Amino acid sequence: MSIQTDYSGRAALTIIEALLLAINDHNILPEKEILGILSDSAATHDSGVGSEEEIQTHRAVSALINRIIAGGNSVRRP
């Protein structure tokens, strides 16, 4: 993976986390729905196929999404 790809991924993650927070703050979607979106995304990567390297990437992405869910980064919690 190139450094540019890494920067792009980090930028995308930061933007999405900010959007999820704003969506929740403005009562567009409740926390349950936002967590559902993240869970669905993780599940998609859990069933990812491809070469061994692609499968490892899918697993790493799923693990990252699950850490975001566990850490509460996508919703503001009291």
| Whole-prediction pTM | 0.81
Provide the sign of the torsion angle of the four alpha carbons 69, 39, 13, 57, taken in this order: positive
Give residue 6's pLDDT.
Answer: 82
Which residue ranges make up each domain of the chain? 3-71
Q: What is the pLDDT of residue 72?
A: 76
The pLDDT tens digits for 22-64 are: 999 999 999 999 999 999 999 999 999 999 999 999 999 999 9
